[in-house]
Structure 1
Amino acid sequence: MGGTPARRRTEPCYHFPPLYQEMCMKRFSLVSTLVGVFVLTVAISAQAPQGGGGRGGGGRGGRGGAEPQGGAAPPAQGRGGPQVPTPKNLQFFPKDMTGAQILPIMQNFNAALGVNCTYCHNAEPPVDRPGNDFASDDKETKKKARVMLAMARDVNMKLQAELGKPAAELTNVQCVTCHRGVAIPKQLVAIMMETAGKDGINKAVQQYQDLRKQYYGAQAYDFSDATLFAAANQSLAMNKPDDAIAFAQLNLAYHATSARSYQVMSQAYQRKMDKDKAIQALEKAAEIDPMNQGYKNQLQQLKAGA
């Protein structure tokens, strides 16, 4: 719907003991400390083995540009830690990285994009399932991941070189910087406009409600009144007053004191030549924001028939 995939609810490729499960439930808790490492290849190659960080929350496993090959390997951490295959076909990461070094990076890719191992790899859980081929390059998503990893690395190195600051003083570009927990990092207003244009305003309204239930409280989308206000304005600019009214009404269902939603609704009613409803909406805007002289002036002009 509208070009944004539903959040995956698949079984993780790696099975974690209770400690790992608890850690995985914390959204993006270690993204800044682990994923920030991968953008500089030298730093990655020096990384010590780790047993797991990131998030597998909601039953999602690791993901990304590393390619572990199925098969037995020493566990990432003793006493029931996940069995990590020996990495093969590494093209972005140093070829001598171990499975224990790769795993936490994969977990953070999973957290950053909200996907499972299968998003990039030809594999299904469990990790030692016959036929799993983590080294395969068949999936386009894996090829794209390598391109984007190189892009993030190059951006960070260029910033460090041209700004003359050490890496520790710069904000690194990471997967999560843009993706924020979704595989396709579109702005919510863009999703709304795409769905409304393709499938109609009712589908867009339903999609917003579904996404809000699924992602509210996460960093994936902006559910403030700014998003639907922008969608209403864009609809009005496209001469779709009914869509503008629907977006404004939806906004008010969640943000009852959004004066600007009433104001754009008034403009939409004026476009529809419904003066009475236009006045009512603008009166409500002025009531909510009595210090806004612009609303008062517009209301005066509207009542005067200007």
Structure 2
Amino acid sequence: MRPTRAGGWWALVALAGLCAVPAPTAGQESNGYENLQALPADITRDDLGDTMLGFLRALGLPRRAGEGCLHCHVGSLDVPRSQWEWSSDEKPNKATARRMIRMVQDINREHLAGLDHRDWPALQVGCVTCHAGRLDPRPIEDVLGSALALGGVDSVAVLYPVLHERYYGAGVYDLRVGTLASMASRLAEEGRYEDALKLSAVNETAHSGDPGARRVTLALRIQRALDESGPESAVEVFHGLRETEPDEALGFSVLDGIGWRTYRIDRQEDALALFRANREAYPDLYFTFESLVEARHGAGEISREEIIAAYEAYLQTDPDNEMAQAQLTNHRRQSD
């Protein structure tokens, strides 16, 4: 008996949002379709149409007038679809699709079926699980990385706004501020500051008004001054930015982050200069106090007894500060 539309393999196809597909079975009577290799030979017209529609949705292909079908099938929008060569294997994408269908079948039948604990109804993967409405299933970091390797930063600067315009809010890619910011930071670590600042500008445009996007650009400018001219230049840039930039974009965290990044690569003197400047700029903020005294202690500039005394003195002015209390307790424990 063939499964009905209420259950069986049909429930796994695209209209359920998974685009999972059935395995072909032996001994089925052909329904007239030619060259079916990964789908059942007796699949009905409705079920085949539903499955193909699921493929289109999962890969984000256009559905109007069968345009998306041309991704795998041979035909032309200039002629009726009845004249298309549906059974042709001319396009490599069809072979790829068959391989992916079999992969999905294997995962669902062999791997997921063996799990002891599964959601109910039982979890099924499908095309949309990875593709999520796009042809290229890779995460955006890999997509942008390929664009950078093949076409340079200008290629990324063109591609990112296109992806942001099309997919933002769709849950397809991680298009938050941090994605392009991370790529810009990696370029800066390679000394490619012009490229890094170009990407950061693209990020600011895509996320207009977001202080986080602006913060990345400001950090790159300070980091560049540090790497190219030293801590005095970085501090000078920092003070200049404080006169023009809102505190929500700059704030203490920019110089603090650069300071610890510099500290971790054994440029402790440079880092201490940044921490001191940050403390002078934000003298009432606990975080600038903690970074400075911890960095001084780590660099051997002050002893364990001296850092304990520093926290004790701080708590005289802010006795309810739980972070300072925790740090003091930790240092006292280590001194025993």
* TM-score scaled by length of structure 1: 0.63
- 1:194 equivalent to 2:177? Answer no
> Quick one: structure 1 residues 197 and 129, their matched pair in 2 at CA, closer, same or farther if it must change by over 3 Å?
closer
1:263 aligned to which of 200, 204, 219 = 219
| CA-CA distance at 1:144 after TM superposition | 0.6
| Mapping for residues 233-272 of structure 1, pairs under 5 Å | 233-253=185-205, 254=207, 256-258=210-212, 261=216, 262-272=218-228
C-alpha spacing 1:257/1:97, structure 2 compared with 1 (3 Å): same
Question: How far did 1:228 drift?
Answer: 0.6
Q: 1:32 to 1:236 in 2, by over 3 A?
A: farther
1:182 CA drift (Å): 1.7
Look up the match of 1:33.
Answer: 16
**Alignment RMSD:** 3.7
What is the deviation of 1:131? 4.3
In structure 2, stretches of 5+ residues that fail to align are 1-12, 26-30, 62-67, 261-270, 278-294, 296-336
Determine if contact 1:181/1:219 at 8 Å carries over to the other structure: no
TM-aligned CA deviation for residue 126 of structure 1? 7.4
SS in 2 for 1:258: helix
Q: Percent identity?
A: 25
Aligned 8 A contact 2:17 2:128 in 1: no
Written as runs of structure 1 = structure 2, the 5 A alignment for 1:106-255 is 106-115=52-61, 116-125=68-77, 128-129=80-81, 131-165=83-117, 168-253=120-205, 254=207
The equivalent position to 1:100 in structure 2, one of 29, 46, 65, is 46
CA distance in 2, matches of 1:279, 1:180: 45
CA separation in 2, counterparts of 1:232 and 1:186?
A: 20
Which secondary structure does the structure 1 equivalent of 2:130 belong to?
helix
Higher RCO (Cα < 8 Å, 6 or more apart): 1
Q: CA deviation at 1:302?
A: 2.6
User: Contact 1:113/1:183 (CA < 8 Å) preserved in 2?
Assistant: yes
Q: Any idea what the Cα deviations from partners look like across 1:135-155, whole Å, max 9, x if unmatched?
A: 111111100111111112212
Amino acid at match of 1:41: A
Q: Structure 2: how far apart are the matches of 1:167 and 1:91?
A: 31
Q: CA deviation at 1:166?
A: 5.6
Query: Post-superposition shift, 1:104?
Result: 1.1
Aligned residues: 235
Measure, in 2, the Cα distance between the counterparts of 1:183 and 1:157. 24
Structure index of larger Rg: 2
State the shift of 1:214 in Å.
2.7
Larger helix fraction of residues: 2
Output the TM-score relative to the length of structure 2: 0.58
